Structure 1
């Protein structure tokens, strides 16, 4: 039985709930709240505890506020959402902080009734590691499960590291009945990276290359190496590598090549072959969250087209921006800004690359046997909403990619019945990361080779050499790789981290300081000729300090050791990130 189903069927659920409980963000818990002999009495029972940790991975199939909403990929009309109230306005502060989608970078509980944060999850990993290490379980069990727990701990830490920079590194189970050293300082961003990277390096050979059968959803060598490669790529990028140390790119490239050399992953024919129940656990998936009938997803009801066949079928919470739409190339591989591309502003959706049609629902798209109409003045319930008075699209577009067309959105609004797994990492991402790392490490031919594997998949577009027979510069290739990451990984919660690590959000030309655009289609002159006009949906403000999240004020208030940290290589002021 797959791991995300097991936890819901065992009699230990009550014990696990106690084990997961925690007094506050420090994760101090008296040991007398649970019986060790019950939970740690057998490998099967210990597995239940570990499965509960897996179940806390921040998958976003049920998350109203997806991470792409924070970026320039998507807009959402609901004014109460964090993207609108805090990210778009530049209002981030220690007292006006956001936990991220599914509490992705939430530090920890603010009070006993609050939802868990990453340090509660880290504590669970520490407890599992401690108890299993002390147990008399078999050597094989210990080797595999301890590697999984350390992977999960590194996973939770990597979210904190990307969001905040340096954070306290806690690898033991804190107990306020025993220890007085319960306050940990922030480690530097560099030392936090080194901890995560070293953890993953030490366990990479302890798990099989890929999982199958009853182990689907568990960590594997492929997952470990991919997380390691991603963390190294982030560490090599402009935000964390202002000195442009090429060795960091070389390290990332080497790790990502190790994933490729496992030879257990391959691209699916198209990106539409990834997000359905029928295609779950395909050869492109490296690490995912296994959905189940007891724990289904709601993507269709949250992110699909709002009205289908006259019935509201979605909240429309992920609306592609015009800026994203404009980044899809033409079928000949050229961007629409290239005079030779053949782009027609009066027929903008003609002859675009295949990924455009597989990712975006635009005026005239077919969905579940019905044409989606967003143009003005024809009485369509999906007509663009330029006032944000309804759930209908503000940009003139809806999301197609990651939405299972076989699921009835109206039903999905009421129940979590989506069965497509949530994918954290897939092989196309690895190929694009490897292409980027290779380019920045000075290996342009390798970058082109692996970029082409993704761009040309399923006849999407010609190769780089065929598209640019005259050749391209290093800067041009960098722009193409970055555009391809945006297009290939759209709506997969990657763009936010990419624009942060590339440090392209702020300033006059920052992607998060530009107006948010949509497409308003109207018969302006009443002569039956439809005009496609850019429509400004909204504005954003991104301040330089926002490349790092502020530490929540309650964290600083509770930890006197952090409050004493000033200056250093990360420039903290009373433990807080610069600018806050």
Structure 2
């Protein structure tokens, strides 16, 4: 998106998705279709067979079916984001019967209604809290959180408000005091988290730490990372100053990193950031070598292409040795899918779109801003102004949490935002030791988006070729 982009050409989103030069035969989303339906089949089997498990109680059956409906809804929601309306396979198909396995494509509205129904049933079947150490299981709150997001994406504003209020009424979740700690092990499963994917770093983990950490900085060797994905200047400009000024305010041009929203410091490493007992430098110096974290104007030594690195999701408490890829190839930081801060934003946006923005919605937005240390929004703003402010708030609050692309799609602003070249901050040191800051085009930051075609990915051609009921059902423009 316009929030970040990867360093290397072999990263899919740096290539085909950025250029939009794929077809229904080789679309990077083709695997999403195949994988989702494989998982939907497993969910359908559980829903159909749960009650036949020997010795299972009625309560256990309800909980098992509730979890399966939650996961089935998750995968259909995933498909709807990529493709719009999809075949609603609601049973485990008999692979030996050709007549049984081919479903027609449902409309987007029908798909949304199906997912809503699954999540309503899941919320009724699932507990508010699981006993003991059953971390990672879907709960009533998780089902309602996904439903709130679905309804927001579908423009079902009144439904989104009602579902969000159901979450608030559970009285289970509260905002975390420290924003940054939510995304590292010290803050896992905290009071704000509604649903997160569990990792333990041993049997199940990921490589986000090494992929996102800044490249080793020659003066002190503190980073021990690859720096494959970098925040953009486009995003940095959205973080306000604590005096209420916008992030690109000319009055702060000579000192752009002092007095910013606390969410900026928790999410992004910039030139001179304190990091693991040293500093991260991202200024432009053509003399530095391949292993530098410094700004890489022409992608010659694989330093940052934007002047920034990730801080969010990286455990700063690790020593350089512990963070080194060869000592720790995978890490176990959980991945938050839903949290209360997002529900606050869903609720406020839906209320505003209904023309019903009130003190309650304003208080929820301002609670997030207060945590960031920026001034509260005043009352009495117009619907248009509020729409812009809520969207900006959503961008910085949920940065790097997998929401931005789908927000641009549902707002129908992608052709404005995802066309052109992303921005970087080129920093050079003056003879007197002070810094010069210049916004430049990021190397490799070119983006293309063709409306209306690119608002949906193409249905895989192989799926259409196999299923005659999908003939003539390809998404427009593909």
Q: What range is the shorter-chain TM-score in?
A: over 0.9
C-alpha displacement at 1:214, in angstroms?
Answer: 2.2
User: Which residues in structure 2 correspond to 1:42-53 (within 5 Å)?
Assistant: none
Counterpart residue number, 1:317: 228
Secondary structure at the aligned position of 1:181 is classed as helix
Deviation digits for residues 114-154 of structure 1, max 9, x if unmatched? Answer: xxx11110111111112113345211111111111111111
Deviation digits for residues 219-265 of structure 1, max 9, x if unmatched? Answer: 000000000110000000xxxxxxxxxxx211111101111111100
Deviation digits for residues 312-351 of structure 1, max 9, x if unmatched? Answer: 6222122010000000001123323568xxx411111122
Secondary structure at the aligned position of 2:19 is classed as coil
User: Which residues in structure 2 correspond to 1:138-149 (within 5 Å)?
Assistant: 138-149=57-68
1:443 pairs, out of 331, 337, 356, with 356
Secondary structure at the aligned position of 1:576 is classed as coil
Counterpart residue number, 1:361: 269
What is the CA–CA distance in structure 2 between the aligned matches of 1:527 and 1:315, rounded to whole Å? 32
Counterpart residue number, 1:125: 43
2:107 pairs, out of 180, 188, 192, with 188
C-alpha displacement at 1:395, in angstroms?
Answer: 0.2
Indicate yes or no: 2:298 matched with 1:387: yes
Counterpart residue number, 1:518: 424
- Which 5+ residue runs of structure 2 have no aligned equivalent? none
Indicate yes or no: 2:3 matched with 1:90: no
Counterpart residue number, 2:340: 427
Deviation digits for residues 173-195 of structure 1, max 9, x if unmatched? Answer: 11233563221111111111110
What is the CA–CA distance in structure 2 between the aligned matches of 1:94 and 1:296, rounded to whole Å? 32
Counterpart residue number, 2:281: 373
Counterpart residue number, 1:332: 243
| Residue 99 to residue 190, structure 1, CA distance change in 2 (3 Å) | same
Higher mean displacement: 409-418 or 496-505: 409-418
What is the CA–CA distance in structure 2 between the aligned matches of 1:92 and 1:533, rounded to whole Å? 34
Deviation digits for residues 2-60 of structure 1, max 9, x if unmatched? Answer: xxxxxxxxxxxxxxxxxxxxxxxxxxxxxxxxxxxxxxxxxxxxxxxxxxxxxxxxxxx
Conservation of the 8 A alpha-carbon contact between 1:284 and 1:428: yes
1:461 pairs, out of 369, 374, 378, with 374
Indicate yes or no: 2:114 matched with 1:216: no
Indicate yes or no: 2:181 matched with 1:273: yes
TM-score (norm 2): 0.92
User: Which residues in structure 2 correspond to 1:171-320 (within 5 Å)?
Assistant: 171-178=90-97, 180-211=99-130, 213-236=132-155, 248-292=156-200, 293-308=202-217, 309-310=220-221, 313-320=224-231
Runs of 4 or more above 6 Å deviation: none
Higher mean displacement: 131-140 or 410-419: 410-419
Counterpart residue number, 2:310: 399
**RMSD over aligned Cα atoms:** 2.0
Query: How many residues get paired?
Result: 465
Indicate yes or no: 2:316 matched with 1:418: no
| Residue 330 to residue 452, structure 1, CA distance change in 2 (3 Å) | same
Secondary structure at the aligned position of 1:213 is classed as coil
Conservation of the 8 A alpha-carbon contact between 1:407 and 1:418: no
Counterpart residue number, 1:533: 438
Indicate yes or no: 2:398 matched with 1:489: yes
Conservation of the 8 A alpha-carbon contact between 2:222 and 2:277: no
C-alpha displacement at 1:533, in angstroms?
Answer: 0.7
Secondary structure at the aligned position of 2:125 is classed as coil
| Residue 306 to residue 487, structure 1, CA distance change in 2 (3 Å) | same
C-alpha displacement at 1:406, in angstroms?
Answer: 2.0
Secondary structure at the aligned position of 1:191 is classed as helix
What is the CA–CA distance in structure 2 between the aligned matches of 1:548 and 1:263, rounded to whole Å? 37
Conservation of the 8 A alpha-carbon contact between 2:268 and 2:312: yes
Deviation digits for residues 87-139 of structure 1, max 9, x if unmatched? Answer: 22121321230138xx5xx111xxxxxxxx11110111111112113345211
- Which 5+ residue runs of structure 1 have no aligned equivalent? 1-70, 109-116, 237-247, 564-573
Secondary structure at the aligned position of 1:531 is classed as strand
Secondary structure at the aligned position of 1:456 is classed as helix
C-alpha displacement at 1:212, in angstroms?
Answer: 5.2
1:161 pairs, out of 80, 103, 115, with 80
Conservation of the 8 A alpha-carbon contact between 2:426 and 2:439: yes
Conservation of the 8 A alpha-carbon contact between 1:92 and 1:550: no
Deviation digits for residues 402-457 of structure 1, max 9, x if unmatched? Answer: 21112356645234442221111111111111111111111222331211111112
| Residue 384 to residue 212, structure 1, CA distance change in 2 (3 Å) | farther
| Residue 364 to residue 523, structure 1, CA distance change in 2 (3 Å) | closer
What is the CA–CA distance in structure 2 between the aligned matches of 1:212 and 1:302, rounded to whole Å? 35
| Residue 409 to residue 319, structure 1, CA distance change in 2 (3 Å) | farther
What is the CA–CA distance in structure 1 between the aligned matches of 2:97 and 2:466, rounded to whole Å? 19
Conservation of the 8 A alpha-carbon contact between 1:302 and 1:413: no
Counterpart residue number, 1:59: none
Conservation of the 8 A alpha-carbon contact between 1:207 and 1:220: yes
Counterpart residue number, 1:61: none
Conservation of the 8 A alpha-carbon contact between 1:280 and 1:421: yes
What is the CA–CA distance in structure 2 between the aligned matches of 1:80 and 1:231, rounded to whole Å? 32
What is the CA–CA distance in structure 1 between the aligned matches of 2:248 and 2:425, rounded to whole Å? 17
